[in-house]
Structure 1
Amino acid sequence: MKLGAKAAFAAATLSAALCLTACGGSAAGPDAAGTAAGAATKTVKAMTIGSLADAKSFDPVDARTGHAMPIFQTVYDTLLLRDRDGKISPMLATKWEYNADNTVLTLTLRDGVTFSDGTPFDAAAVKANMDNFKAVKGQDAYQVNSVKEVAVVDPRTVTITLNAADPAFEYYLTLAAGFMASPKALGTPELKTDPRGSGPYVLDKANSVKGSQYVFTKRDGYWNKDLQKFEKVTIKILTDATARTNALVSGQIDAALLDPKNGKQAEGAGMKLNKSQVDWTGIFLYDRDGKISPELANVKVRQAINHAFDRKTIKEQQFLGQGTETTQIFGPESGAYVPDLDNRYPYDPEKAKKLLAEAGYPNGFTIKYPTTAGSDSLNAVYAQQLADIGIKLELETIPQPNLVADMAAGKYAAGSYSLFQAGPWVSITQIIGQSALYNPFKTTTPELESLISEVQNGGEKSSELAKKVNTYVTENAWFAPILRLDQMYYTGKNVNVKPQAHQAVPSIYNYEPAK
C-alpha cells in the first residue's frame, strides 16, 4: 500500500531510543583478539565524537546503558568486557566461574591495576563498588537486583552470590554494574564531577563543560596501552541530528550517529557509513488480558493487528529503506532468533478483517494510543493502516519524557516504541516476564512461566531454550514488530570504527586512527 506524502521522509527518531537501545561493551579489549595487554599501538593527537546524550554525572551509579556509555568508558574499566560480536572477555577480572547451580560467581582479578588517584584495585574495591551500586539504586540498579552478597576471598578473588540464577549477570558486568571507581571516592559529591577510575583516559576538567563537551587525555601508567588509541578524546554533546550532521561534515567532529535523512547529507560529503542493526521498532500490545481494552485479550485480534501492517512500505517511506522487516522481537545476534518468525504475519488486510470477525469484532473497535512530537508521523501511518481493517487509534499527544512512565504505569493498552535486541534473558526480564517494566499488566500464563524458568536455569543452553519463549510471544502476538532498524553511524576521514553488537553507538575501544 502507498502511504500519504506527509508520512514520507519522517525523522527516524525511534532508531535512537533506549537501547535499549543501548549497552556497554568492547571490541579490542585486554586478552581479546590476540593482542597482548600493554602492547604499544599507534596514536594520533585527537578524536572528537558527537554524542546525542549527556551523562547525568560521572558517578558510576548514574551510568545508564545507552548513548552516554562511551563517556563512562573513557575513565572507568568494567569487570568484564564485551567484544564487538557480543562475546564476553576479560578486563579487570581475568577469569570467572559459576558454581553448579549458577548462583555464585567467582572472579579472579587483574593484578597491578590502580585507580587514577593512586588507590590499588583489588577485591575490596569490587565489593565497595557493587555494594554502593546496589544501595544507591541508580538508573541501572536493576542490573544488580539478583545480587545477594559480595564477599572478599583474598585481594585477588571475590565471590558474588545471587538470589537466583541470572543468565544476564555476566553481561551486566560489562555495563554500569561493572564500572569500578576508586573506593576512596565512592559516595562523595566530588565523584559526580571528577571521575576516579582505572580507565584509559582521565578528564581534563579545565577544558570540559557540563552539557557541552568533555575532554579526556591519555592516562599515564594505564595497564593496557592497546586501548589508548588517541592522545586526547573529546565528546561533544549534540542532541540535534542536524547539528551532529553539520559538525561531522564540517570536520568539527570525527564520528556521530545519524538518522537516514541526515545520513544522505553525510554520505554526499564523503563520510563513511558503519551500519549495524540494534533496535527493533513497532507496537507493544500491553493489554493482553483486556483490562482496559477487552478486545486485546483475544489472540486473533492481536494477530489481526500484526497482519495489518505493510512493513516494506513503512520501511521505504518512513526510514528511507534502512532496516529489515520482521515480526519477532529477537534479532539474529540475540541467541533466541528464529528465522521463520521474521515473516510470521505477512501484510494481509483481508486476513486481518477475517480474524477480527472471528474474534467478534467485525466492525472493529477503538484504542486510546499515546503519541509524541517525535513519533507523530510514524503513528499516523500506523493509524492509517489499522483503520484499513477497522481499528481506530485515538491518538493522544503526551510529552516525550512521559512516554515510558505512562506506558509502564498501564495508562495505555498499546503504544509505539523501540528497544535494543538484547540477549535473551535481558529481553525476557525487560519486556516479557511478570515483573518486566514493559509488561505493565503483568501478563503471563503457566506455559510461558515454565518456558522462562527453563531459560533462567538453562546455563549454557539458555539462549537456545529462549527460542521457545520467542516462538510463544510471537505466536500469541504479544507485540507487533515492524522493523529491525539500521543504526547509521558515520565517521570522517581521520577515524575508523567498528559497530558493537546490541549497541547503537560503538564502545570507546572500537575506534582507531584511519590508516
Structure 2
Amino acid sequence: MRVKVATLAVSAMLTAAGCAGAGGNLAGPDENLVLVTNQPNTSFDPPLMRVGPQALYWQAVYDTLLHSDVDGEPLPGMASAWSYDESKLNLTLTLRDDITFSDGSAFDAAAVKSNVDHFMATPGPNGPMTTAIESVEVAGTHQVVIHLRRPDPGLLTNLSSTLGAMAAPAAIARGDLATAPTGSGPYTLQAGESSAERKLYQRNAAYIDPAAYPFDTVEIKYFADVNPVLNQLKTGQVDAAMVRAAVTEELEASGVKVISESTEWAGLLLLDRAGTSVPALGDVRVRQALNYAFDRDYISSITDGNPVPTAQIFNADSIAYDPALESHYNYDVDKAKSLLTEAGYGDGFTLPLPDLSAILGPAINKTIDQALNAIGVTVEWQRISPTTMTSDITSGKIPVTLFQLASNTPWQTITNSVAPSAGYNPMRTETPELNALIERVRVANGPEESAAAYKAVNRYVVENAWFVPLFRPGKYFALTPGITTEYQLTGSVPDLSRFQPVQK
C-alpha cells in the first residue's frame, strides 16, 4: 500500500487553511466576502509586505501603479500610461489625476517619489525589486520618471505588486503604516474590529473603480487548522479558502468547487554550492548525482494531490520553460553512482537535511532516505524550528533543505532564486557565465530574444544542478457556488480583484 507524501507549503512548509468567518449566506454583489488563507499578515508597510497568500491583506487597502492580467502582462492602474526610452534605463509614468488617498490627500507625482524613496530606504523582503533603481524624478504634477542603473525586466511586474502599492505620504512620514495603512485601494481597514487572526475591511467610497470590487465588506481570516473551515465552506459561511489537496474530493462531493494551479516547485535547495559546510556540494558532479537519484514520476504518484514531476524551477507557462530539460535527469542510479565516483565520493558522503517529518509525516523521510541511500549518500536528519526555517534558509544557516518556492514570471524566479542577490541564494553563488546569461535577459529586445535568453539561464541552472526540483505542487482554492475566481501567472493565490460573484 502506498503512503501519500504530504505536499510542501511555503513559509516553513506549514500546509494549512484558515478557520471560517461570520460570512453568512453565499456572497453576492454588495455583500460580505469572506476569504481564508494559510498565512497571517506581517505588515501593511509596502517595503515590508509579503506576496503570496499575504497579498490579499494589502490588496484590499492599496491600489498599485500598474495592474496585471492573468498572464502577467501590465495594465493601467494608478498610472494610465508608461513608456521606456531606447536605453531601457528611463521609465516614464503618466499618472491619473482623479485619485485621492483615504485620508483625503491627492495622489500625484510627489506621492510616487515619496513611496519609492521610502521603499528603497527600508530594508525588507522585497529589496531586490529596487536594486536597479537609481532615482525617481518628478517630471510634472502627474508624471514621474524612474531612472535605472541597468535594465530591469521585472520593473513593470513589480509596479503591479508591493513596489507599486501607493500609501499617503503623510502616513509614510508618521511611520505607522505597518498597522495603520492609508492607501487609495478599494477598501479601508477597520482596525478596531480586526485582530491577528482576522482582518475586516469596509468599502472605500472614493475608490476609482468600484465595479471591480462588488462587495461592501471583506473579511480575511487566518487559522492554522484545516478542519474547521471545511463545514464552513459547505454551508457557505466562508466564500473561498486555501485548502489541501487531500480534502478536495470531500469538498467537491458537497458542491464546493475547487480550482488549482501549479505556480510553485518543490524539491531540494542545494544552497551550499561552494561546499563551505558540505564539501561534496561544491562539486557539480555530486549535485548532478543527487538529481539522477530521484524517480520523479514515482515521487509524484505517491504525493498528496499527484503533482506534476519536473526537473526545472521555471514556471511551465513561462517563456523560460524548456520541455527538453524535463528528461535531462531521468532516474538513473548507476549514472548517479558513477558521477559520485568521478568526484571522489565513491564511498558516499553524509548530507545534513532538516527533519520535516513532524510537519509532513514520516513518509517523506523514508522516500528521501531510500533514494539517496541507493547511491551511497547517508542522510543526517537534523531538528529544526518551523517558525524560523525560512529566515534560517535566507540567512545561510542551512546548506541544503527540502522546500517549496514560487515559480511565477521568469524574471521573478531569477531574482528570487538565481541572481547573486536573490533571497534564496543566501551564500551568493555566482559564476561569470551565469552573470553573462542574466545580463542577456536584461538587454534582450523582443519576445524571441527574451525567450532564448531566459531558456539559456534555465539550461545553465539545470545542467549545473543548482537545485533538485522534484514536482510542481498544486495550490488549491475552494469556492462556494456563489463565488468565482481565477489564478494568474504572478502570485501563489488569486488576486483579490479576481474574486467575483457568479453572474446569474
TM-score for the superposition, normalised by structure 2:
0.91
Structure 2 counterpart SS, 1:113: coil
Distance 2:47 2:195 in 1: 18
Contact 1:15 1:485 in 2 (8 A): no
Counterparts of residues 264-279 of structure 1 (less than 5 Å): 264-279=249-264
Q: Counterpart of 1:11? A: 6
Q: Counterpart of 2:275? A: 290
Relative to structure 1, the CA distance from residue 243 to residue 145 in structure 2 (aligned partners, 3 Å threshold; closer, same or farther) is farther
- The answer to whether the aligner puts 1:332 opposite 2:288 as a matched pair is no
Structure 2 counterpart SS, 1:191: coil
Pairwise CA distance, 1:465? 0.6
Counterparts of residues 114-133 of structure 1 (less than 5 Å): 114-133=100-119
Contact 1:167 1:459 in 2 (8 A): no
- The answer to whether the aligner puts 1:345 opposite 2:340 as a matched pair is no
Pairwise CA distance, 1:160? 1.0
Of residues 112-121 and 243-252 in structure 1, the stretch that sits farther from structure 2 once superposed is 243-252
Counterparts of residues 54-453 of structure 1 (less than 5 Å): 54-206=40-192, 208-321=193-306, 323-372=307-356, 373-375=358-360, 377=362, 378-453=364-439
Contact 2:416 2:423 in 1 (8 A): yes
Pairwise CA distance, 1:231? 1.9
Relative to structure 1, the CA distance from residue 232 to residue 280 in structure 2 (aligned partners, 3 Å threshold; closer, same or farther) is same
Distance 2:32 2:398 in 1: 48
One-letter code of the match for 1:470?
Answer: N
Contact 1:15 1:486 in 2 (8 A): no
Distance 2:266 2:500 in 1: 31
- The answer to whether the aligner puts 1:500 opposite 2:488 as a matched pair is yes
Distance 2:180 2:283 in 1: 54
Structure 2 counterpart SS, 1:328: coil
One-letter code of the match for 1:276?
Answer: E
Pairwise CA distance, 1:392? 1.0
Pairwise CA distance, 1:84? 1.5
Distance 1:15 1:62 in 2: 17
- The answer to whether the aligner puts 1:468 opposite 2:442 as a matched pair is no
Contact 1:44 1:513 in 2 (8 A): no
One-letter code of the match for 1:231?
Answer: D
- Consecutive unaligned residues in structure 1, runs of 5 or more: 20-41
Pairwise CA distance, 1:190? 4.6
One-letter code of the match for 1:366?
Answer: T
Deviation per residue, 1:243-272 (Å, 9 max, x gap):
333432343211011111132332232211
Contact 2:91 2:145 in 1 (8 A): yes
Of residues 334-343 and 192-201 in structure 1, the stretch that sits farther from structure 2 once superposed is 192-201
Contact 2:315 2:409 in 1 (8 A): no
Pairwise CA distance, 1:44? 3.7
Distance 2:348 2:283 in 1: 13
One-letter code of the match for 2:257?
Answer: K
Distance 1:288 1:59 in 2: 34
Of residues 333-342 and 185-194 in structure 1, the stretch that sits farther from structure 2 once superposed is 185-194
Contact 1:18 1:419 in 2 (8 A): no
Structure 2 counterpart SS, 1:67: helix
Q: Counterpart of 1:489? A: 477
Distance 1:289 1:137 in 2: 27
Contact 2:12 2:389 in 1 (8 A): no
Q: Counterpart of 2:23? A: none
Distance 2:116 2:431 in 1: 34
Relative to structure 1, the CA distance from residue 284 to residue 130 in structure 2 (aligned partners, 3 Å threshold; closer, same or farther) is same
Relative to structure 1, the CA distance from residue 95 to residue 435 in structure 2 (aligned partners, 3 Å threshold; closer, same or farther) is same
Distance 1:112 1:192 in 2: 26
Deviation per residue, 1:384-428 (Å, 9 max, x gap):
211111111101011013323333343343211111113222222
Q: Aligned residues: percent identity?
A: 36
Distance 1:205 1:289 in 2: 48
Of residues 410-419 and 492-501 in structure 1, the stretch that sits farther from structure 2 once superposed is 410-419
Distance 2:215 2:412 in 1: 33
Deviation per residue, 1:173-231 (Å, 9 max, x gap):
1111111111122132553333221111222344x222122222222132112212212
Distance 2:161 2:196 in 1: 22
Relative to structure 1, the CA distance from residue 301 to residue 190 in structure 2 (aligned partners, 3 Å threshold; closer, same or farther) is closer
Pairwise CA distance, 1:463? 4.1
Distance 1:129 1:411 in 2: 33
Pairwise CA distance, 1:99? 1.9
Deviation per residue, 1:32-79 (Å, 9 max, x gap):
xxxxxxxxxx82412110121222233333311121111111111000
Contact 2:305 2:474 in 1 (8 A): no
Relative to structure 1, the CA distance from residue 137 to residue 440 in structure 2 (aligned partners, 3 Å threshold; closer, same or farther) is closer
Distance 1:454 1:188 in 2: 42
Of residues 498-507 and 458-467 in structure 1, the stretch that sits farther from structure 2 once superposed is 458-467
- Consecutive unaligned residues in structure 2, runs of 5 or more: 15-27
Distance 2:78 2:299 in 1: 45
Distance 1:296 1:237 in 2: 38
Of residues 496-505 and 458-467 in structure 1, the stretch that sits farther from structure 2 once superposed is 458-467
Distance 2:191 2:278 in 1: 53
Distance 1:368 1:286 in 2: 12
Contact 2:256 2:481 in 1 (8 A): yes
One-letter code of the match for 1:293?
Answer: V
Relative to structure 1, the CA distance from residue 57 to residue 437 in structure 2 (aligned partners, 3 Å threshold; closer, same or farther) is closer
Pairwise CA distance, 1:9? 3.2
Contact 1:73 1:199 in 2 (8 A): yes
Relative to structure 1, the CA distance from residue 62 to residue 253 in structure 2 (aligned partners, 3 Å threshold; closer, same or farther) is same
Pairwise CA distance, 1:152? 0.7
Distance 1:248 1:504 in 2: 21
Contact 2:261 2:475 in 1 (8 A): yes
Number of corresponding residues: 486
Contact 1:153 1:159 in 2 (8 A): yes
Contact 1:75 1:197 in 2 (8 A): yes
Contact 2:6 2:304 in 1 (8 A): yes
RMSD: 2.2
